[in-house]
Structure 1
Amino acid sequence: MPTRRTGRHLGATVRATRVRRVPSWWRDTSVAVFWAVLLFVSALWVAGGGVQALTTVTGALTSTGRLSGLIASALLLVQVFLMARIPWFEQAWGQDQLARTHRLVGFTSFNLLWAHIVLITLGYAAASPLGLWGTIVDFTLNYPGMLLAIAGTVALCMVVVTSVKRARRRLRYESWHLIHLYGYLGAGLALPHQLWTGQEFLASTASTVFWWSLYAVCLAAVLVFRVGVPLARMGRHRLRVIDVRHEAPGVTTVTVAGSRLASLAAHGGQFFHWRFLDGPGWTRANPYSLSAAPDGRTLRFTAAHAGDGSSRLAALRPGTKVLVEGPYGRMHAGTRTRRKVLLMGAGIGITPMRALLEGLPQGRGDVTIVHRVSTKADLVLDREIDALAKERGAHYVVVEGHRAPGRDSWLPASAAHLTDSEALRHLCPDVAERDVYLCGAPAWMDAARNAAREAGVSSAHIHLERFAY
């Protein structure tokens, strides 16, 4: 297995910025609030006679349809809340877990939405002389807000269809991002129908106040954190591009500077959503991880050209104004639980590891950093990492070669005679005693995470972020 190891013989302790631990109760509280909302929604349905209505076929269809609609509405609002990029949620869950939760809640909400539509329609048709098709026409033309609700459903269908993995692979990020914004439109168009005609929305003062408050909180979260905060930061920090550097073929490093950046409380390994006000396309934010530990004056990231947004980076000019959202993610020292750390990055995924190496408080031998590349041409920031490793007494390893064929592995073909966990213990014998940070392509991270688990690292000590849309 091709490797390069440096820095083992050096080890003066380096003083680094102290990072505040992310309180575990943030995550526990968010889970408790989520279930409390669903329980309260169910309680409103029971109080409104939902259980009593189950005694007849018509009542059972209509009442079950209302319950599925209520839960679908609550989950849709949770979706909007998750998309609002609220810092406490991001820090508590991390990008990877938040994306998984977003996806699970989204598909569940969508399925319940269609259950609501089908069950309500069948229930009303069973009690109406108009029959099924007559009831559908009556719903569409005569019920307040129904046309808006249909338009909202179509918008949500577009979002869900393009969220299926096979469809996502066929779309550019820019196209997917634009379609995904219709989730907000779908939620907004469904609001009049629910608040004007929904029995459980109007059954009591408590019910009406609850639903209006829920919608208001979600709308405020989006307006504050997706619009207000970036604009306020633009005025406060006056971020501008000061340097654009060609790092390797298809890879660009961008440095921005501004005032009072220490107040952002960013740390090496975290990411921001970046918008560059340089012309068409500035409205789309792209997530890029910091590739250097923040120094209070500048922020730096390094990105591969994977689409229109990232390809534009090479053409940025110094002086371009910048909007940022963040910092986000759990790839920082605040999630560290052990003194020793293993940093593993594949390809461009090495960039947050380089920032972590620079920012982590450490002593001799505390940090091992593994850089996985297919060829030497893919090495990015390796000279910087090598210099930092020597300065901090870290152990730097480059693992080079095309991936092992015929299996899901984080290893190159030259190491195919080893299992993934054996190779990991070979490079880092005490891996079971370390926190492990991972960043790279999703399949590679899955393989590396599985190897770490097999080597004795528990899930609580494995930290990773996914940026695949």
Structure 2
Amino acid sequence: MTTVQSPPAPPTAIRPRVVARTSLYAVLAANAAVVAYFFAQAGFASNALIVIGRLFGLYGALVMAFQLVLVARLPWLDRRIGMDRLTSWHRRTGFTLLWTLLAHSVFIIFGYAEGASVGPITELVDLAETTEGVLRAIVAFGIILVVGAVSARYARRRLAYETWHFIHLYTYVAVVLAFTHQVAVDTTFTSSSAATAYWYGVWGVALGALVLGRLALPLWRNTRHQFRVSAVVPESDNVVSVYVTGKDLDRLPAQAGQCFLWRFLTRDRWWQANPFSLSAAPDGHTLRLTAKAAGDGSAALRHMKVGTRVFAEGPYGAFTTLHRVRSESLLIAGGVGVTPIRAILEDIEGHAVVLYRVSSDRDAVLYDELRDIALAKGAELHLVTGSPVPDRLAPSELARLVPDIADRDVFLCGPPPMMNAVLRSLGELNVPKQQIHFERFSLAG
């Protein structure tokens, strides 16, 4: 049988990720300038410490609103930047917010204490008792301190996701308290009708984006598509594929390489969301996920009954062919990280080389499918087996298997240690960063 392939799509002239990132920076910079303008227009207090404190407070409010946009899971941003990077930016911005609000509090308290000729603690108590909105601000800052503490790497690694997420939800309480504090005491907020309209607009857009991306869009898509489990197929002793069908799936904007947050609506698992990427390119009729038993949630998939209702949030992720800059590709998979790689191989155009890294042949799930797709598309497939030492994907080995590696897009997915090692190898081989595509799939806050 002869397979005729369409010519590969031309490389993207303007990288979508660059466009989205630049747009975010430009919007943030423009808002920072507007905040400075309204701050100057409102006039300055006689105490320099109070002036600095108010400015930090305003920028703290702006950063807080920006944080909401980063985790709103808006499709346009998510497909161009990716959930993992947006979540990482959200985390870094969170620590920026913490220090900004700390500076706001310190400068304001010491500024008013200096004017009243009292100590900072006395002044803090006096402000909380006499000034509307200050007590709410103290509670909001306390919540942000707690969330910042549990989000530090040391604490985050030792907390269950459910515990961390429950604590993190209190951030929304802090947002409401901070907003009402700003309305009550900020002279800049009410200095002019334009300033008031601006700040209501900022918070309206931020909260609107959050409601749209995290609530309205998932509810609308699940109501429209009515996802259900249509088949459960064991792939190995600890890996299973789940097939999901629904209505009008040809109108679901899912791409090979993307993931969903899946909630299987059983009595004991309906509350738990698990991020699994698609293990086959969407065909308009069926979605397939393939998961390894790594916990109670993923292990329970093997016993899922056909007909089980599914609540799927997504599709999410920028790990797609949208970001290609070269006409030829290298796809590197490790372990169960083969799932999005297998989907991308099915979807990708142009010559591709696939490296599948596993400990032994029996760990190579979906290998037969990879082989059949590679044969049909004229791709090269290499199964790389053996222990982690020596490194089977070291620079010398990659250069041997793929001599033109620097001229290819590289799609990478696998366990974090393997991905880190391969990224170092690609750096040593001088593969340009814009040609390296990967995502670290995890739940976003």
Q: Render the CA deviation track for 1:213-262: whole Å, top value 9, x for unaligned.
A: 11111111121221111111112111111122233343332111011112
* The 10-residue stretch of structure 1 (114-123 or 38-47) with the greater mean CA deviation from structure 2: 38-47
1:278-317 alignment, distance < 5 Å: 278-317=266-305
Q: Render the CA deviation track for 1:444-466: whole Å, top value 9, x for unaligned.
A: 32321222232232111111101
Following TM superposition, by how much is the alpha carbon of 1:263 offset from its aligned partner in structure 2, in angstroms? 1.3
Following TM superposition, by how much is the alpha carbon of 1:327 offset from its aligned partner in structure 2, in angstroms? 1.8
Structure 2 match to 1:32:
26
Following TM superposition, by how much is the alpha carbon of 1:126 offset from its aligned partner in structure 2, in angstroms? 1.2
Q: Render the CA deviation track for 1:173-211: whole Å, top value 9, x for unaligned.
A: 222222222222221221111111112222222221111
Where relative contact order (Cα < 8 A, 6+ residues apart) is larger, the structure is: 1
Structure 2 match to 1:5:
none
Q: Which of 110, 118, 122 pairs up with 2:106?
A: 118
Given that residues 270 and 328 in structure 1 are in contact (C-alpha distance below 8 angstroms), is that contact kept between their aligned partners in structure 2?
yes
Structure 2 match to 1:386:
371
Following TM superposition, by how much is the alpha carbon of 1:292 offset from its aligned partner in structure 2, in angstroms? 0.3
Matches of 1:139 and 1:212, distance apart in 2:
25
Residue 62 of structure 2 corresponds to residue 74 of structure 1: yes
Structure 1 match to 2:35:
41
* Structure 1 residue runs without a partner (length 5+): 1-9, 405-412
Structure 1 match to 2:238:
250
* The 10-residue stretch of structure 1 (109-118 or 169-178) with the greater mean CA deviation from structure 2: 169-178
Distance 1:435 1:414, change over 3 A: closer
Q: Which of 390, 395, 398 pairs up with 1:424?
A: 398
Matches of 1:105 and 1:175, distance apart in 2:
21
Q: Render the CA deviation track for 1:313-352: whole Å, top value 9, x for unaligned.
A: 3332222222222222221121112111001111221110
Structure 2 match to 1:440:
414
Matches of 2:269 and 2:130, distance apart in 1:
41
Identity, % of aligned positions: 39
Q: Secondary structure at the match of 1:150?
A: helix
Residue 335 of structure 2 corresponds to residue 332 of structure 1: no
Following TM superposition, by how much is the alpha carbon of 1:285 offset from its aligned partner in structure 2, in angstroms? 3.1
* Structure 2 residue runs without a partner (length 5+): none
AA at the equivalent of 2:345: L
Given that residues 174 and 308 in structure 1 are in contact (C-alpha distance below 8 angstroms), is that contact kept between their aligned partners in structure 2?
no
Matches of 2:263 and 2:63, distance apart in 1:
29
AA at the equivalent of 2:33: L
TM-score, length-scaled by structure 1: 0.87
Following TM superposition, by how much is the alpha carbon of 1:281 offset from its aligned partner in structure 2, in angstroms? 4.8
Q: Which of 348, 356, 359 pairs up with 2:344?
A: 356
Residue 413 of structure 2 corresponds to residue 398 of structure 1: no
Matches of 2:170 and 2:291, distance apart in 1:
27
Following TM superposition, by how much is the alpha carbon of 1:17 offset from its aligned partner in structure 2, in angstroms? 11
Given that residues 267 and 293 in structure 1 are in contact (C-alpha distance below 8 angstroms), is that contact kept between their aligned partners in structure 2?
yes
Given that residues 71 and 86 in structure 2 are in contact (C-alpha distance below 8 angstroms), is that contact kept between their aligned partners in structure 1?
no
Given that residues 141 and 147 in structure 1 are in contact (C-alpha distance below 8 angstroms), is that contact kept between their aligned partners in structure 2?
yes
Given that residues 233 and 323 in structure 1 are in contact (C-alpha distance below 8 angstroms), is that contact kept between their aligned partners in structure 2?
no
* The 10-residue stretch of structure 1 (152-161 or 328-337) with the greater mean CA deviation from structure 2: 152-161
Matches of 2:241 and 2:112, distance apart in 1:
60
1:176-215 alignment, distance < 5 Å: 176-215=164-203
1:59-98 alignment, distance < 5 Å: 59-98=47-86
Given that residues 96 and 464 in structure 1 are in contact (C-alpha distance below 8 angstroms), is that contact kept between their aligned partners in structure 2?
no
* The 10-residue stretch of structure 1 (18-27 or 298-307) with the greater mean CA deviation from structure 2: 18-27
Residue 435 of structure 2 corresponds to residue 454 of structure 1: no
Following TM superposition, by how much is the alpha carbon of 1:171 offset from its aligned partner in structure 2, in angstroms? 1.7
Q: Secondary structure at the match of 1:127?
A: helix
* The 10-residue stretch of structure 1 (286-295 or 170-179) with the greater mean CA deviation from structure 2: 170-179
Given that residues 432 and 457 in structure 1 are in contact (C-alpha distance below 8 angstroms), is that contact kept between their aligned partners in structure 2?
yes
Distance 1:151 1:254, change over 3 A: farther
Given that residues 75 and 105 in structure 1 are in contact (C-alpha distance below 8 angstroms), is that contact kept between their aligned partners in structure 2?
yes
Matches of 1:414 and 1:135, distance apart in 2:
62
Q: Secondary structure at the match of 1:201?
A: coil
AA at the equivalent of 1:252: V
Matches of 1:183 and 1:139, distance apart in 2:
23
* The 10-residue stretch of structure 1 (20-29 or 248-257) with the greater mean CA deviation from structure 2: 20-29
Q: Secondary structure at the match of 1:294?
A: coil
Distance 1:107 1:238, change over 3 A: same
TM-score, length-scaled by structure 2: 0.92
**How many residues are paired up?**
440
Matches of 1:340 and 1:464, distance apart in 2:
16
Q: Secondary structure at the match of 1:337?
A: coil
Distance 1:98 1:142, change over 3 A: same
Given that residues 231 and 242 in structure 2 are in contact (C-alpha distance below 8 angstroms), is that contact kept between their aligned partners in structure 1?
yes
After superposition, the CA RMSD in angstroms is: 2.5
Q: Render the CA deviation track for 1:288-316: whole Å, top value 9, x for unaligned.
A: 11100001011111123334443443332
Following TM superposition, by how much is the alpha carbon of 1:128 offset from its aligned partner in structure 2, in angstroms? 1.6
Distance 1:213 1:261, change over 3 A: same
Matches of 2:162 and 2:362, distance apart in 1:
28
Matches of 2:130 and 2:161, distance apart in 1:
40
Structure 2 match to 1:367:
352
Given that residues 279 and 342 in structure 2 are in contact (C-alpha distance below 8 angstroms), is that contact kept between their aligned partners in structure 1?
yes
